[in-house]
């Protein structure tokens, strides 16, 4: 039984895929894209990417607190996960938000 299973698996891997993906001309791909991209949505995506980059540059504990906050967890839940007090979490969130706002508007991304 082992040999049959092994041979079946081997032949499946070595056999050219009958349903292998086919390549499509770039023109056809471009036709399937939306005709126009909303400029506001593009700006929003860029801002979110920038914010994510700034959050990633925070110290590990600060980054953990902010990621949990951004996942809409309350201070008590974050406190249970991090081992901090709920009051400390609330203070950290407020200070980190202020720091991120400053860095976002200044365009700086130096480490914290």
What tens digit of pLDDT does each residue of 41-63 get? 788 888 888 988 999 999 999 99
What's the rounded Cα separation, in Å, for the pair 94 and 91? Answer: 5
Predicted TM-score of the model (pTM): 0.58
When comparing pLDDT for 6 and 64, which is higher? 64
pLDDT band at 97 (very low <50, low <70, confident <90, very high): very high
Q: Which residues contact 107 (CB under 8 A, 6 or more apart)?
A: none
What tens digit of pLDDT does each residue of 23-35 get? 556 666 666 666 5
Q: Nearest to residue 82, comparing CAs of 96, 55, 63?
A: 63
Q: Where are the domains of the chain?
A: 45-112
- Which two tokens mark 69? 């906050």
> Residue 12 half-sphere exposure, CB side, CA atoms within 13 Å?
6
Judge whether residue 12 has pLDDT over 50. Answer: yes
What's the rounded Cα separation, in Å, for the pair 17 and 28? Answer: 24
């Amino acid at each position: 039984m082992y040999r049959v299973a092994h041979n079946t698996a081997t032949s499946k891997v070595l056999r050219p895929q009958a349903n292998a993906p086919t390549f499509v001309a770039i023109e056809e791909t471009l036709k399937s894209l939306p005709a126009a991209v909303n400029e506001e949505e593009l700006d929003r995506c860029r801002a979110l990417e920038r914010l994510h980059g700034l959050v990633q540059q925070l110290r590990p504990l600060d980054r953990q607190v902010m990621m949990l906050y951004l996942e809409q967890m309350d201070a008590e839940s974050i406190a249970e996960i991090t081992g901090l007090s709920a009051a400390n979490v609330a203070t950290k969130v407020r200070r980190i938000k202020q720091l991120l706002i400053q860095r976002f508007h200044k365009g700086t991304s130096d480490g914290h």
